[in-house]
Amino acid sequence: TCPICFELWTTSGSHRIVSLKCGHLFGQSCIQKWLKGQNGKCPQCNAKAKRMDIRVLYAKAIKALDTTERDRALEELAKERESKRKMELEKAQLSLRYQQSIEECTVLRNEQDILLREIELLRCGQFYQNHCEPCIISSQTVCTGQFKLDKTINISQEGKCRVLAYSSSLAALLVSQPSNSHLFKGFGVKKISTMDLKTFQYVPIHSNVIRDICFHPVYDDGMLLSCGMDKTIKITSIMSNAVVQTYESSLPVWSCVWNTSNKLYFYAGLSNGTVLEYDTRNTSEAVQEINKEAKRAPVVSLQYVPKDDDANFKQEGLLVGQLDQTSFYEKKNESELKLHLLPLDGDLCFDSSSRQLLASFRSSTKYPYARHQLCRLTASRLSESQSIDDICSCSTLHSLRAGKAQATLSRSTLFHTGDDSNRLIICGAGNNGNDESTATVQTWDGLTGQQLQKLPCGGVPLDMLPININNTKHLAVLLNTQLKIYRWQ
* 324-346 confidence digits (pLDDT tens): 889 999 998 877 899 998 888 88
Q: What pLDDT does residue 403 have?
A: 79
Is residue 250 over pLDDT 50? yes
Q: What is the 3-state secondary structure (H, E, C) of the chain?
A: CCCCCCCCCECCCCCEEEECCCCCEEEHHHHHHHHHHCCCECCCCCCECCHHHCEECCCCCCCCCCCHHHHHHHHHHHHHHHHHHHHHHHHHHHHHHHHHHHHHHHHHHHHHHHHHHHHHHHHHCHHHHHHHHHHHCCCCCCCCCCEEEEEEEECCCCCCCCCEEEECCCCEEEEEEECCCCCCCCEEEEEEECCCCCEEEEEEEECCCEEEEEECCCCCCCEEEEEECCCEEEEEECCCCEEEEEEECCCCEEEEEECCCCCCEEEEEECCCCEEEEECCCCCCCCEEECCCCCCCCEEEEEEECCCCCCCCCCCEEEEEECCCEEEEEECCCCCEEEEEECCCCEEEEECCCCEEEEEECCCCCCCCEEEEEEEEEEECCCCCCCCCCEEEEEEEEEEEEECCCCCCCCCEEEECCCCCCCEEEEEEEECCCCHHHEEEEEEECCCCCEEEEEECCCCCCEEEEEEECCEEEEEEECCCEEEEEEEC
Distance CA 42, CA 20 (A): 8
When pLDDT is averaged across residues 35-40 and rounded to a whole number, the result is: 79
Q: How far apart are CA 189 and CA 289, in angstroms?
A: 28
Tally Cβ neighbours within 10 Å of residue 464: 23
What is the architecture of the domain spanning 1-64? Answer: 2-Layer Sandwich (3.30)
Range from 48-52, 199-203, 311-315, 362-366 carrying the lowest mean pLDDT: 362-366
* CB of 268 closer than 8 Å to CB of 315: no
Higher-confidence residue of 100 and 426: namely 426
pTM tops 0.85, yes or no: no
User: How do 413-416 and 424-431 pair as beta strands?
Assistant: antiparallel
- Report the Cα 366 to chain-centroid distance in Å: 24
| pLDDT cut 70: percent of the chain above it | 91
For 338, half-sphere exposure in the C-beta direction (CA atoms, 13 angstrom radius) is 16
Residue-wise pLDDT tens digits, 429-471: 988 766 666 789 999 999 888 999 999 888 899 999 999 998 8
Q: Is 145 within 8 Å of 416 (Cβ atoms)?
A: no
**Mean pLDDT confidence for 169-182:** 93
Query: 33 or 182, which is more confident?
Result: 33
* Residue-averaged pLDDT of the chain: 87
**Does the structure show a pLDDT above 90 at 208?**
yes
Q: Which residues, 6 or more positions from 74, have their beta carbon under 8 angstroms from its beta carbon?
A: none
Q: Averaged over 209-217, what is the pLDDT?
A: 96
